Amino acid sequence: MLSQCTLKNIRVNKNTTIIFPQWTSQSHAPKTLIVERQRYKTALMKHELGHAKFGELAQIEIESTLQNLPPANTCDEMDKQANKAAYAILYKYQRKDKRYDKVTDHGHTQGALLNNNLLGLRISPLKYLLFQKHF
């Protein structure tokens, strides 16, 4: 009888880090700008948590899929099967992530767009870092 290779006690680890630039000199900014920035930051966080949710869903699906893989004749074959399955799931969620940015216009439709009426500027999340340098 040939021995077979199986996966047991599957555990997929996921880490999510969301980093926001620090506003170092807000003490000189008008209160309306401080309030607007906080509103924007809250909306941007909501958008970024949407991206993080895809990571959580991918983690769950990968664990489930790997747990249910049929035995392979060799552990080398099992390794290939497991990697192929996991990468297919990751690719699926990368596509969902890109679609999410397209549908939300990178968070704009969720309010992640600075609207600074004082300066008449509208700044997207992609230009957020540039905005930080002015204050």
Cα torsion angle, 110, 111, 114, 117, sign: positive
Residue 35 has pLDDT above 90, yes or no: no
14 within domain boundaries: no
Residue 23 has pLDDT above 60, yes or no: yes
β-sheet bridge partners, residue 72: 5
Helix/strand/coil for 122: strand
pLDDT at 70: 95
Residue 130 has pLDDT above 90, yes or no: no
10 within domain boundaries: no
Mean pLDDT of 53-76: 96
Q: For the stretch 105-135, what's the b/e string if a residue is b when 16 or more beta carbons lie within 10 angstroms of its beta carbon?
A: ebbeebbbbbebeeeeeeeebeebeebeeee
3 within domain boundaries: no
Query: Number of folded domains in the chain?
Result: 1
13 within domain boundaries: no
CB 85 within 8 A of CB 69: yes
Tell me which amino acid residue 135 is: F
89 within domain boundaries: yes
46 within domain boundaries: yes
CA-to-CA distance for 14 and 48, rounded, in angstroms? 16
Domain housing 122: 29-133
Helix/strand/coil for 9: coil
- Helix ranges, the chain (H): 31-67, 75-104, 128-133
Largest CA distance in the chain: 78
pTM: 0.78
